[in-house]
Amino acid sequence: MTRTSSHPRPAPADDLGVDLYRTMARIRHFETAASRLLASGELPGFLHLSIGQEAVAAGVCRALTDDDYLTTTHRGHGHCIAKGARIDLMLAELFGRAPGYCGGRSGSMHLADPGLGILGANAIVAAGVPIAVGGGLAAATRGRGQVAVAFFGDGAVAEGVVHESLNLAALWRLPVLFVCEDNQYAEMTPTETHLNNRDITAYASAHQVPAETVDGNDALAVFSAAERMVRRARDGDGPSFLHCRTYRWHGHFEGDAQNYREAAEVEAWRGRDPLRVLRLRMADESVPTAIDAECEREIALAVEWARAQPSPDPGSVTAHVYQPDGASCGS
Ligand SMILES: Cc1ncc(C[n+]2csc(CCOP(=O)(O)OP(=O)(O)O)c2C)c(N)n1
């Protein structure tokens, strides 16, 4: 379903820190609201939240334009919001309502906005990675300087398709940024028990793709590395790999009993809250406080709107199964 977003994005701030903080706060308030709505029984389906990981989405997407592509995962709300997706349409989709991004049919794990280059969240681990390489090939063919970003978790790194994607992107020098969001668990499995080499950048280096590890809870550090890598891609110098070390505060999914990790580990990472990390670097405390209040209001209004929308017409159940003749996936 192609949808062109005409909804205005929040006014871009001159100050990088303010802009990054606003993006992270929007993600945090969106996901906090979604968590509550699921717990109260209002939202159907599954939710995988990225609370604690917001700096990766904000830092990487700050280096992109609306014309660039991204693909994301089952944990993709943050990436979509940071790329400019409409929060009201995302919430309508989570509620299963007709105006939602996918007509209320997909829920959280298949959000897409081709008009903004969001080529889709994907519930199949690693499946978005080759799609981003396809975006990179389209970008290279068009020659307009677009780039494509593949977000994926540490759990995707040993999937064969990630290596096929790295190889092809390197071989054809495609403008692709591979972003591994390493939250240290794949579902309930710690990374050291599913990856032989804990140095995740080594997998990229094996394909001669330049790689770097950054503190994924530091939005400024993520942005600085992503900006360099995006510039490299736009200049025709091929793909890069950004390994971001971070942590999810909530369970793998909402409702996860989390008996595979200690509460003290979660607490220690909460102490490195990416919003707080940035807040401490901002000169004026009142700015982030005002942004938080603004985001809370924005989300509350969007929830109210989404909740009041109609469900899809049952008579349309077979619609949107096939791409209509002549329709395109955006440009
Ligand atoms: C191909 C495939 N294998 C297994 C699963 C089940 N599964 C869903 S999420 C997940 C873990 C993914 O871990 P990671 O890539 O690190 O992302 P995270 O959940 O930590 O964000 C698994 C194994 C799946 N959805 N797809």
Q: What is the pLDDT along the chain (331 residues), one digit of tens a residue?
A: 334 333 344 444 458 999 999 999 999 999 999 999 999 999 999 999 999 999 999 999 999 999 999 999 999 999 999 999 999 999 999 999 999 999 999 999 999 999 999 999 999 999 999 999 999 999 999 999 999 999 999 999 999 999 999 999 999 999 999 999 999 999 999 999 999 999 999 999 999 999 999 999 999 999 999 999 999 999 999 999 999 999 999 999 999 999 999 999 999 999 999 999 999 999 888 999 999 999 999 999 999 999 999 999 999 999 888 887 777 655 4
* Domain that residue 110 falls in: 16-304
**CATH at 219:** 3.40.50.970
| Residue 132 domain flag | yes
Contact residues for 230 (Cβ-Cβ < 8 A; gap 6+): 63, 64, 68, 147, 177
Mutate to test the pocket of ligand 1, among 109, 110, 125 (most ligand atoms within 8 A of CB): 125
Strand partners, 212: 242
| Residue 309 domain flag | no
Helix axes of 16-39 and 219-234: crossing angle, nearest 10 degrees: 110
Domain tally for the chain? Answer: 1
Q: Which atom of ligand 1 is nearest to the CA of 186?
A: 13
| Residue 205 domain flag | yes
Single-letter amino acid code for the residue at 247: Y
Q: Which atom of ligand 1 is nearest to the CA of 159?
A: 1
Helical H segments across 114-240, by residue range: 128-142, 160-171, 201-205, 219-234
Residue closest by Cα to atom 6 of ligand 1: 125
How far is the C-alpha of 27 from the C-alpha of 22, rounded, in Å? 9
| Residue 5 domain flag | no
| Residue 329 domain flag | no
Query: Which of these, 9, 100, 21, 18, lies nearest to 275 by C-alpha position?
Result: 21
Residue closest by Cα to atom 5 of ligand 1: 125
How far is the C-alpha of 292 from the C-alpha of 298, rounded, in Å? 10
- The residues lining ligand 1, judged by C-beta closer than 6 Å to any ligand atom, are 73-75, 123-125, 152-156, 183, 185-187, 252
| Residue 312 domain flag | no
| Residue 315 domain flag | no
Angle, CA 3 vertex, CA 233 and CA 302 arms, to 5°: 105
| Residue 79 domain flag | yes
Residue closest by Cα to atom 2 of ligand 1: 125
Phi, psi of 224 (to 5 degrees): -60, -45
